[in-house]
Amino acid sequence: MNEQPVENEPKFRVRARHTETTVVVYQAYRPGIGRPAARTGRFPSTWKRDRMTWIKPSFLWMMYRCGWGTKEGQETVLAVEVRREGFEWALRHACLSHYAAALHPDQAAWKRELARSPARVQWDPERDLHHNPLPYRSLQLGLGGEAAVRYADEWIVGIGDVTPLAAQIHALVRAGEEERARRLLPGERPYPVADEVLARLRA
């Protein structure tokens, strides 16, 4: 089950489908990129390595972002299985996407850190089946520069097209069959991240 008991969930925690060696993140693309990626397990040449790409470990947050795969340019929803060492490299080399007075001496220091970091983190409210915000946060991890290249060329183990699953769950939600919909959600659980890594990314 994807949705966690609200009273037991800390505000900042990474939750994901994961094994001992891999973690699943989600992205949504237009079919011209998403379908070839799912078919070959690699992004096609039209995928831009020089652009920031955002990966999301939360299936429901991805559904909120792409409207269950109905938004223009986000019609193909991908489940990308990546190596844990790559995902954790990105977290260790990430900077918060916004200035936080508790973590940065001043805005200039944050901007310098942002400029030299190949990855960035933002925390957005997690969502329920109806896209309502929950009181705890969902990780969004932006990859640029070296991180984007490593992601595309080294970290990806496999890419699956979960657009049909998104449509199936969405149909059940619309029909009011929430329990059936919830049973189809990918099983996400707390992902272990060293506290010293998250300490500079929680704000």
- Quote the pLDDT of residue 1: 46
- On the 0-12 / 13-18 / 19+ scale of CB atoms within 10 A, 185 is middle
Token pair, residue 201, equals 């990314």
For the chain, 203 residues long, give each residue's pLDDT as a single digit of tens: 455 455 678 999 999 999 999 999 999 999 999 999 999 999 999 999 889 999 999 999 999 999 999 999 999 999 999 999 999 999 999 999 888 888 888 888 898 888 899 999 999 999 999 999 999 999 999 999 999 999 999 999 999 999 999 999 999 999 999 999 999 999 999 999 988 888 889 87
pTM, 2 dp: 0.93
